Structure 1
Amino acid sequence: MQAKHLKWLILSLALLKIAFHLYFYDMLEPHRDELLYFSLGTHPASGYASVPPMVGILAFLLTKTIGFSIFAIKILPAILGGVMVWLTASTSKALGGGWFAQVLAALGIFVAPIFIRPFYLYQPVGFDIFFWTLIFYLTIRYLNTRRHSYLLFLGLASGLAILNKHLVVLQLGALIVAFLLSSERKVLTQKYFWYALLICFVIALPNIIWQLNHGFSSIRHFNALNKYQLVYLSRVNFLKEQLLMPGIFLLLTCAGLAALLFFQKLRAYRLLGVTALLVIGILLVAKGKGYYTAGLFPLLTAAGAVWWESFLKQWYYRLALAGVLVGLSVFLIPIGLPIDSPKNLVAHFRKFTEKYGMDGMLRHEDGKIHSLPQDYADMIGWEELAKITDAAYKQVPDKNNVLIYCENYGQASAVNILGKKYGLPEPVSFSDNYYYWAPREIPATTDTFIYINDELGEDINKLFTDIRLIGTISDPLAREHGTMVYLCQKPKASFSQFWKERVAGLESPF
Structure 2
Amino acid sequence: MPSLAWRPLTVVAALLSALLLALSPLYGYHRDELYFRYLAEHPAWGYVDQPPLTPMLAKVSIALFGDTLTGLRIPAVLSTVVLILVVALITRELGGEGRAQVLAAAGIGTGAFTLIAGHSLLTLSADLPLWSAAILFVLRVLLRGDGRWWLAAGAVIGVATYNKHLIALLVIGLAAGVLAVGPRRILRDPWLWAGAALAVLVAAPNLLFQAMNGWPQLEMAAALSADKGAEMRALFVPMQIVLFGPVVAFVAARGWLRLWRDERLRCLAVAYPVAAALTLISGGRFDYTAGLIILLFCAGVTQGLGPALAANGVFCAIVGLPLIPVSLVGMTPVPQVNEVVRESIGWPEFTAAVRSAVQTLTPEERARAVLLAGSYGEAGALHLAGGLPPVYSGHSQLHAYGPPPESADVAVAVKYPRGGLETVFQTCVEHGRVDNAAGVDNEFRGLPVLVCRGLRMPWSAAWPRFQEYS
Fold shared, TM-score > 0.5 on shorter chain: yes
In the alignment, which residue of structure 1 is the partner of 2:33? 34
1:156-195 to structure 2, matched below 5 A, reads 156-195=155-194
Specify the code of the residue in structure 2 equivalent to 1:408.
Answer: S
The Cα offsets for residues 158-202 of structure 1, whole Å up to 9 and x where unpaired, read as 011111111110111111232334543333333332222222112
Conserved 8 A contact 1:22-1:78: yes
1:74-93 to structure 2, matched below 5 A, reads 74-93=73-92
Specify the code of the residue in structure 2 equivalent to 1:289.
Answer: R
Q: CA deviation at 1:304?
A: 0.6
The Cα offsets for residues 315-362 of structure 1, whole Å up to 9 and x where unpaired, read as xxx2xx31122124313421111113222323454xxxxxxxxxxx65
After TM superposition, the score normalised by the length of structure 1 is 0.83
2:51 and 2:87 mapped to 1: Cα distance? 25
Pairing 1:113–2:112 present:
yes
In the alignment, which residue of structure 2 is the partner of 1:386? 351
Q: Give me the identity figure in percent.
A: 23
> Which residue of 441, 446, 451 maps to 2:408?
446
Secondary structure at the counterpart of residue 450 of structure 1: strand
> Which residue of 389, 401, 405 maps to 1:437?
401
Conserved 8 A contact 1:247-1:329: no
1:107-506 to structure 2, matched below 5 A, reads 107-234=106-233, 237-245=235-243, 246-262=245-261, 266-305=262-301, 308-309=302-303, 318=304, 321-349=305-333, 363=336, 373-393=338-358, 395=361, 397=363, 401-416=368-383, 418-419=384-385, 422-424=386-388, 426-439=390-403, 442-443=405-406, 445-453=407-415, 456-457=418-419, 459-460=421-422, 463-464=425-426, 469=431, 472-475=434-437, 476-477=439-440, 479=442, 480-489=444-453, 491=454, 495=455, 497-505=457-465
Q: CA deviation at 1:234?
A: 4.1
Conserved 8 A contact 2:37-2:58: yes
Conserved 8 A contact 1:403-1:450: yes
1:240 and 1:112 mapped to 2: Cα distance? 15
Secondary structure at the counterpart of residue 451 of structure 1: strand
Which entry has the higher C-alpha Rg, 1 or 2?
Answer: 1
Q: Which moved more, 1:192-201 or 1:460-469?
A: 460-469
The Cα offsets for residues 381-439 of structure 1, whole Å up to 9 and x where unpaired, read as 222333444455565525653222112222111111x22xx344541111121122222
2:263 and 2:327 mapped to 1: Cα distance? 51
1:48 and 1:260 mapped to 2: Cα distance? 38
In the alignment, which residue of structure 2 is the partner of 1:357? none
Conserved 8 A contact 1:174-1:278: yes
1:340 and 1:507 mapped to 2: Cα distance? 37
Specify the code of the residue in structure 2 equivalent to 1:403.
Answer: V
Secondary structure at the counterpart of residue 370 of structure 2: strand
1:61 and 1:425 mapped to 2: Cα distance? 27
1:449 and 1:8 mapped to 2: Cα distance? 58
Q: Which runs of 5+ in 1 are unaligned?
A: 310-317, 350-360, 364-371
Q: CA deviation at 1:447?
A: 3.4
Secondary structure at the counterpart of residue 229 of structure 1: helix
Specify the code of the residue in structure 2 equivalent to 1:469.
Answer: H
Conserved 8 A contact 1:396-1:448: no
After superposition, the Cα gap between the structure-2 partners of 1:157 and 1:428, relative to the gap in structure 1 and judged at 3 Å, is: same
Q: Which moved more, 1:52-61 or 1:476-485?
A: 476-485
Q: CA deviation at 1:225?
A: 1.7
Secondary structure at the counterpart of residue 51 of structure 2: coil
After superposition, the Cα gap between the structure-2 partners of 1:304 and 1:466, relative to the gap in structure 1 and judged at 3 Å, is: closer
Computed over aligned residues only, the root mean square deviation of the Cα atoms, in angstroms, reads 2.8
Q: CA deviation at 1:140?
A: 1.3
1:96-107 to structure 2, matched below 5 A, reads 96-107=95-106
Conserved 8 A contact 2:61-2:74: no
Secondary structure at the counterpart of residue 343 of structure 1: helix
Residue-pair matches, total: 464
After superposition, the Cα gap between the structure-2 partners of 1:214 and 1:322, relative to the gap in structure 1 and judged at 3 Å, is: same
After superposition, the Cα gap between the structure-2 partners of 1:284 and 1:450, relative to the gap in structure 1 and judged at 3 Å, is: closer
After superposition, the Cα gap between the structure-2 partners of 1:7 and 1:505, relative to the gap in structure 1 and judged at 3 Å, is: closer
Q: Which runs of 5+ in 2 are unaligned?
A: none
Q: CA deviation at 1:133?
A: 0.8
